[in-house]
Structure 1
Amino acid sequence: MGSFLANEGLSIVVILVWLGINVFLFVHFYMAFLIDRWFYTRAILGHALSWARAPAACLNFNCMLILLPVCRNLLSFLRGSIQCCSRTAARQLDRNLTFHKLVAYMIAFHTAVHIIAHLFNFERFMDAQLEANMSSLPHVLSLIGNKHNESFLNPIRNNQTSPTIVMFTTVAGLTGVVITLALILMITSSMEVIRRSYFEVFWFTHHLFIIFFIGLVLHGIKRIVRGQTLDSLKKHNPITCHSEFERWGLDQDCPEPKFMGNPPGTWKWVVGPMFLYLCERLVRFYRSQQKVVITKVVMHPSKTLELQMKKKGFRMEVGQYVFLQCPSISQLEWHPFTLTSAPEEDHFSVHIRLQGDWTEALYIACGGDRTRLQEAWELPRIAVDGPFGTASEDVFRYEVVMLVGAGIGVTPFASILKSVWYKHVQENTNVFTKKIYFYWLCRETQAFEWFADLLQSLERQMIAKDMRDFLTYNIYLTRWRDTEAAHFRVHHEAENDPITGLKQKTLYGKPNWDTEFSAIATNHPGCKVGVFLCGPTLLAKDLEKQCLKQSQAGAEFIFNKENF
């Protein structure tokens, strides 16, 4: 139970508070449109009025939140500010994209309810205007305001109209269509299969949020949702006067009611986040103009491009990430990459796996397709935004650490292991962490190539320093060909592993996480074990379950996942 609270407790509280506010706003605004001021509006629309206005209030609230989780400079500042006070609170900021998605789904839900309710509303407005019974209350209410400069209730002022005309000729209808289309495109292009395979489609489509917010602010500017004015309520009580509508204006006790629209209020909700996001973009633009020098380019045979760079004033921590832009490829696109260098080094580096048009273009721009060496002046200009904090920053705050990387997901742990090398081997610095368990899962042997040199150096230095027990690493090859298997069998008895060159032999298949977690819990009873993952969602679910399950065996496992 303690581990569950440590891993999920604050997240559950945050989600419950968020859901509670949504429920409160929905109920509050639903009831707010049942009061006397809206009596005559409900006479035409019924409860569809409340069903349209309640989700609109929730939309305002969630649209206020949607931009905040993607203000990465703001999050980095908050993470650094609260980290010294509460590590658990800081860890919640690492789930910013998860919360961003939840808010987006809530926006989609309330948008659907709002649209369906307004479809009923417009249908009822038209029915009231076209009512054959001239003496019905909805029709009489629709006729109010036909004279010049008179207030009206029904925004449909004539019987020569249709839902299509209303949708595309009114501000509310047109902005509603634009907002809905933008939202559909943003959500569908955010599906993982599209985001992973066609990142550019996701990236460009997501910037429709600008149109979305402009349409959102303008949506209610014409005030089509109208209710009785407060002055009119004092003279005309709808509860007693609605049945005497034929005598309105003739009886001093029931003069003709006056109506006015609600002033647009969405801008009050979103102006603050929009200002913060504007500041965020200005900071990004300023950083993009700072000079970055590429000091080294390494083309690894495993389709991995390594860039070593320098930038004035650049300071990093282990496991952080940056966004890179190459103007010669695209003036707009920024892509996130984990830093693989250590804070102790005089440069910062990233390892980029070649997949997709942008990475292939960067590979070519850096001379990857050339046989001759490329001159420094021929290298493309690179802009860097960051670094930004991640869960891996906390790695040295735990006495025992589990690092789990899958494929190129090993990049944040390259930074950590390099820093370990500097702290223990070169600087003899005492660190709080006493034991690191490192797991690396790869599908093909080529993926090991760029990282094996670091592990070999670390292994040699740990042996020389008599620190064999500090780092336990397990490397797994999850797929292999028959020809490779025969080669592995022949060389398995060699002193060093035939794939990695390490003394620790490569394991085949996938790790048995039950066994691994149980062994660590047994070896470190009563310890807090930090579990850090950079890998796919399915693996994250497995590890998170193990953290909750195995914490009952003695140690307390705290799960952390890279999200960017």
Structure 2
Amino acid sequence: MSVFDIFAWDLVEFSFIPLIWLGWNIYQVVKTIITYETAPRYHYIRQLTGPGVSVAKAGGAVLNLNSMLILLPICRNLISFFRGSCNTNQFCRRSVRRQLDKNITFHKCVAYMIATWTVIHVVAHMFNFRNLYYNRTDCENDYYGDRTDLSCKLSNIANLSEDTNNWINPILRENTKLPFGLDLILQGLTPIAGWSGAILTVVFIVMFSSATEFIRRSYFETFWVTHHLFTIYFAMLLVHGTGGIIRSQTADSLNVHDPEICQDSPQTWNMSGVEDACPYPKFVDGKPASWKWCIGPIALYIIERSIRFVRSFLKVTVSKVIKHPSNVIEVQMKKAGFKMQPGQYIFLKCPSISHVQWHPFTLTSAPEQDHFSVHIRLVGDWTKSLSKTMGADSDAAIDPANLPRVAVDGPFGTASVDIFKYQVAMCVGAGIGITPFASILRSIWLKSVNHLDNFKLRKVYFFWICPDTNAFEWFTELLESIENHFVEQGKADFLKYNIYLTRGWTNKQAKHLYLQEEQEIDAITGLRQKTNYGKPMWDSIFKHIAEENKGVSVGTFFCGPKALSAVLHENCNKHSKVLGEGARFFYNKENF
């Protein structure tokens, strides 16, 4: 890949959304630091705390911004609305739709930004309170202002001006004589900003730590419960700024008390008969700002949850439950007014198991069918409980009328919906990651019965990577039907599929497979296309597809583990020729 191709490809793949987000964060930091370091109204608080106040307030500004943004990517109905608008708008670029599909990735990036600036904000305020504490305690023996240095004047301004509401150092009361560390902690936690900030920080640490991939996959219920502590997070965020603990000099006071001039002679403040004596400065509480940033997203999220709540009561009929090999069950459902597109996903809830847990599953049916279905791998407590409740773990089938009630939220759009916008598609599924392509292949099959010539999509390269021989069983029937269909239509080259078995065979099985290599039908899948053994050589595969489709845009769609995703994305970039007659690969990954 030439340097010019790399540069051109970067321009194609580049999205302004991350750049705008990073730029906005930088702008908030720079703007806030400049304000608190240069504005006259903050001159005296700078004298007491040093640059810590500017850093802490910059952190607060970034936290407000990202606390506003973190709710938006999980408003799935909002994302689906915008994605639907993009699908019908010819001016909405493909790259914009792909960015909408990365909503969860963006949600995680915002969370990392919050974590980083929470540390900065907390540490900066710890230094601020340390400096304020020392300023206050150093003047403890001079409580009534016999000392004339600036820090003591400012720390004792409430007593000197005889106005108890006119203060700038929040550490007002006398030293409790506790050990330094305990007294400082007590002083820091007493104000509203202190205790609310402590709760807010602890809640975020719990949410952030329980959102790791290991916890999400192994203890989903723990992740689900702790993540809903966000209600406390936002409650404390809204309360945090109401204390106004960082005070500024009033505009009226600045007119008669210029801090740049008056700071040089604090001993003359408010002294009658002294030429050019300054009056005492007047200070006012800081105004809370978090609500301005967060009220809109909170309102949108309330609407989002209200929609989900209403949908949870809409009738969904479970028409059939099918037990497949390899610990997979298929649940077929019907719901009035349900409309879907290939590759979309839903959230499923079974109230008899849990009234609060919603789990995402990719739809495996096609829009042309009279029902919608999901294939569920039984790997966790909830999925195993669902299988038992649905009667899939016993030989005796449960009458559909006696099946438990389920609730469905969705469907929601994903990157796979765009497959019909390309001339050539490359679909890669790993293990159970095959599910979105089950829906897509079914839809292609049913749509193409009489209308294949009307498709923009001309060719599909399909790759399925499985870890063991049992993983093929539930999907081979669909592949066989599609394979026979396109052969009958004289379009045998429309679908080129490749199945890879990465492990799970014994030496005896290997010998048996070798002896049957000359058979027309594959020994494992029963399909015409023979199974490949081992991992795919992606570099060679992409090179071959690029040579077969020069000058064509190839939509690459993937559902599976991150490690393989990185390999595919790298090869998409490597083998794309934006300049000249080469193929152009556009990478799309399932995110939900």
TM-score band by shorter chain is over 0.9
Q: Which amino acid aligns with 1:154?
A: N
Q: Which amino acid aligns with 2:47?
A: A
C-alpha separation between the residues in 2 aligned to 1:12 and 1:250?
62
2:416 corresponds to: 392
Q: Shift of the alpha carbon at 1:10?
A: 5.9
2:16 corresponds to: 13
Residues 194-222 of structure 1 deviation map (CA, whole Å, 9 limit, x = unaligned): 21211111111111111111111100111
SS of alignment partner, residue 249 of structure 1? coil
SS of alignment partner, residue 573 of structure 2? helix
CA gap of 1:153–1:255, structure 2 versus 1, over 3 A, is: same
C-alpha separation between the residues in 2 aligned to 1:395 and 1:337?
19
1:260 corresponds to: 284
Q: Shift of the alpha carbon at 1:183?
A: 1.3
1:22 paired with 2:25, answer yes
2:65 corresponds to: 61
1:547 paired with 2:579, answer no
Q: Shift of the alpha carbon at 1:541?
A: 0.8
Q: Shift of the alpha carbon at 1:377?
A: 3.0
Q: Shift of the alpha carbon at 1:11?
A: 4.6
2:180 corresponds to: none
Q: Which amino acid aligns with 2:123?
A: I
Residues 275-307 of structure 1 deviation map (CA, whole Å, 9 limit, x = unaligned): 111111111111111000001100112100100
C-alpha separation between the residues in 1 aligned to 2:195 and 2:11?
43
Residues 4-40 of structure 1 deviation map (CA, whole Å, 9 limit, x = unaligned): 7667746542222211111111111101112211111
C-alpha separation between the residues in 2 aligned to 1:391 and 1:523?
24
Residues 138-187 of structure 1 deviation map (CA, whole Å, 9 limit, x = unaligned): 12211111446431111111232522213433211111111111111121
Q: Which amino acid aligns with 1:399?
A: Q
Using the TM superposition, name which of 365-374 and 542-551 deviates more.
365-374
C-alpha separation between the residues in 1 aligned to 2:211 and 2:75?
18
1:559 corresponds to: 587
| TM-score (structure 2 length as normaliser) | 0.92
Residues 346-383 of structure 1 deviation map (CA, whole Å, 9 limit, x = unaligned): 10000000111110110110012222121223311110
Given that 2:29 and 2:61 are in contact with CA atoms closer than 8 Å, whether structure 1 keeps it comes out as: yes
Q: Could you tell me which of 524, 535, 543 is aligned with 1:499?
A: 524
Question: What is the root-mean-square deviation in Å for CA atoms of aligned residues?
Answer: 1.7
C-alpha separation between the residues in 2 aligned to 1:425 and 1:316?
20
C-alpha separation between the residues in 1 aligned to 2:470 and 2:175?
70
Residues 37-59 of structure 1 deviation map (CA, whole Å, 9 limit, x = unaligned): 11111111011111111111111
Q: Shift of the alpha carbon at 1:481?
A: 2.9
C-alpha separation between the residues in 1 aligned to 2:238 and 2:169?
22
CA gap of 1:426–1:346, structure 2 versus 1, over 3 A, is: farther
C-alpha separation between the residues in 2 aligned to 1:100 and 1:238?
44
CA gap of 1:184–1:451, structure 2 versus 1, over 3 A, is: same
Q: Could you tell me which of 33, 41, 51 is aligned with 2:36?
A: 33
Q: Which amino acid aligns with 1:145?
A: A
Q: How does 1:110-129 map to 2 (within 5 A)?
A: 110-129=117-136
Given that 2:576 and 2:582 are in contact with CA atoms closer than 8 Å, whether structure 1 keeps it comes out as: yes
CA gap of 1:125–1:498, structure 2 versus 1, over 3 A, is: same
1:531 corresponds to: 556
Q: Could you tell me which of 51, 54, 71 is aligned with 2:55?
A: 51
SS of alignment partner, residue 65 of structure 2? helix
Q: Shift of the alpha carbon at 1:425?
A: 2.6
C-alpha separation between the residues in 2 aligned to 1:351 and 1:4?
41
Given that 2:321 and 2:392 are in contact with CA atoms closer than 8 Å, whether structure 1 keeps it comes out as: no
Q: Could you tell me which of 228, 234, 240 is aligned with 2:249?
A: 228
2:381 corresponds to: 357
Aligned length, in residue pairs: 564
SS of alignment partner, residue 563 of structure 1? coil
C-alpha separation between the residues in 2 aligned to 1:294 and 1:396?
30
2:179 corresponds to: none
C-alpha separation between the residues in 2 aligned to 1:7 and 1:71?
29
2:235 corresponds to: 214
Q: Shift of the alpha carbon at 1:2?
A: 6.1
Q: Shift of the alpha carbon at 1:262?
A: 1.1
Given that 2:137 and 2:175 are in contact with CA atoms closer than 8 Å, whether structure 1 keeps it comes out as: no
CA gap of 1:183–1:5, structure 2 versus 1, over 3 A, is: farther
C-alpha separation between the residues in 2 aligned to 1:125 and 1:227?
15
Q: How does 1:332-411 map to 2 (within 5 A)?
A: 332-411=356-435
SS of alignment partner, residue 33 of structure 1? helix
1:153 paired with 2:165, answer no
CA gap of 1:381–1:430, structure 2 versus 1, over 3 A, is: same
Q: How does 1:306-345 map to 2 (within 5 A)?
A: 306-345=330-369
Given that 1:235 and 1:253 are in contact with CA atoms closer than 8 Å, whether structure 2 keeps it comes out as: no
Q: Shift of the alpha carbon at 1:339?
A: 0.3
Residues 75-94 of structure 1 deviation map (CA, whole Å, 9 limit, x = unaligned): 00001112223222111101
1:102 corresponds to: 109
Q: Shift of the alpha carbon at 1:554?
A: 1.3
Q: Shift of the alpha carbon at 1:238?
A: 1.1
SS of alignment partner, residue 333 of structure 1? coil
- Misfit runs of 4+, over 6 Å: none
Q: Could you tell me which of 138, 143, 150 is aligned with 2:151?
A: 138
1:286 paired with 2:290, answer no
Given that 2:363 and 2:439 are in contact with CA atoms closer than 8 Å, whether structure 1 keeps it comes out as: yes
Q: Which amino acid aligns with 1:359?
A: T
CA gap of 1:65–1:447, structure 2 versus 1, over 3 A, is: same
C-alpha separation between the residues in 1 aligned to 2:173 and 2:356?
47
C-alpha separation between the residues in 2 aligned to 1:299 and 1:509?
28
Q: Shift of the alpha carbon at 1:189?
A: 1.3
Q: Shift of the alpha carbon at 1:428?
A: 5.3
Given that 1:167 and 1:177 are in contact with CA atoms closer than 8 Å, whether structure 2 keeps it comes out as: no
2:261 corresponds to: 240
1:181 corresponds to: 202
1:277 corresponds to: 301
SS of alignment partner, residue 323 of structure 1? strand
Given that 2:350 and 2:386 are in contact with CA atoms closer than 8 Å, whether structure 1 keeps it comes out as: yes
Q: Which amino acid aligns with 1:160?
A: N
Using the TM superposition, name which of 322-331 and 189-198 deviates more.
189-198
For structure 2, the 5+ residue unaligned runs are 177-182
Q: Shift of the alpha carbon at 1:232?
A: 0.9
C-alpha separation between the residues in 1 aligned to 2:247 and 2:168?
6
Q: Which amino acid aligns with 1:276?
A: L
Q: Which amino acid aligns with 1:138?
A: S
SS of alignment partner, residue 104 of structure 1? helix
For structure 1, the 5+ residue unaligned runs are none
| TM-score (structure 1 length as normaliser) | 0.97
2:322 corresponds to: 298
